[in-house]
Amino acid sequence: MAATVSATRFTAVAAGALRGLRWRCSPPDHHALLFSKRPGAVSLNHRRRFVAPSALHKADIQAKDEGQPETLDYRVFFLDGSGKKISPWHDVPLHLGDGVFNFVVEIPKETSAKMEVATDEPYTPIKQDTKKGKLRYYPYNINWNYGLLPQTWEDPSFANAEVEGALGDNDPVDVVEIGERQAKIGEILKVKPLAALAMIDEGELDWKIVAISLDDPRASLVNDADDVEKHFPGTLTAIRDWFRDYKIPDGKPANRFGLGNKAANKDYALKVITETNESWAKLMKRSVAAGELSLV
């Protein structure tokens, strides 16, 4: 891979005008995207293309790597059909209709590089998080595809009375996608929410929406938290425990969870999405202070 620009990956996502349309997916390749927790152990032999109806090709979104993975310079930018940079946080639509939402993948399942949208950089590309100038890794692989719901924001000035008065963490809402396929960094999946976990991280509220990709073979079987327990037994507990404990190996205390330490149901998850989408809209209208956040 070149030191400055790697191979371009293509992902397509329905914009607001695509509501209700079905997408066709070309056969996937058979190369895996693998991140170990050791720097340098990376394979990026991957390419997947989602094809929209030809009349809607201008709505395609292209994810482009710049720099080399597992370096401080690495970024995944998003381009619209004309090649213009857009923000995966602000410009990818949230709603697809019928309870379906777009989900932007930051961290593929079974990897440990802590990738995240750079909320303070123009066009909010995906990068690897750092601490004291060093790249960050989870102490062990995350077992689910992880990323964000676009056009959502957890307002740090809003104290949630239902979750111990905790303030929002100033980030988009996180998604834990429980499907069987390992997604790619920058891929955009159509998902349906199933449950919500109210994680409290150092006093800040950091929602985890549990969802499943509509492409997953078992997607039709699960529509609420109870279905997850039936068809993915132990998964909700495993997600809670993973996020509760992942900081402990670094000498930090365990995270806590509100709402009785249990996963809330689908309706509650939809309520969280609606509220945080409204908060994002206020942010974009400059009704609340943006601070260092990029609104481009």
Phi-psi region of 98 (alpha: psi -120 to 50; beta: other; left: phi over 0): left
Do the bridges between strand 204-213 and strand 173-177 make them parallel or antiparallel, or are there none, so unpaired?
parallel
Residues ≥6 apart with Cβ < 8 Å to 288: 155, 157, 279, 282
Q: Are strands 130-131 and 126-128 parallel, antiparallel or unpaired?
A: unpaired
Q: How many other CB atoms sit within 10 Å of the CB of residue 130? A: 11
Set 74, 137, 138, 146: catalytic member: 138
Kindly provide the b/e burial profile for residues 29-44, where b requires at least 16 CB atoms within 10 angstroms of the residue's own CB: eeeebebbeeeeebeb
Residue 117's nearest CA partner among 50, 56, 174 is 174
**Which residue type is seen at 122?**
P
Which of helix, strand or coil describes residue 281? helix
138 counts as catalytic: yes
Distances 30 to 45, 166, 189, 214 between C-alpha atoms, Å: 9, 44, 18, 20
Task: Give catalytic residue positions.
Answer: 138
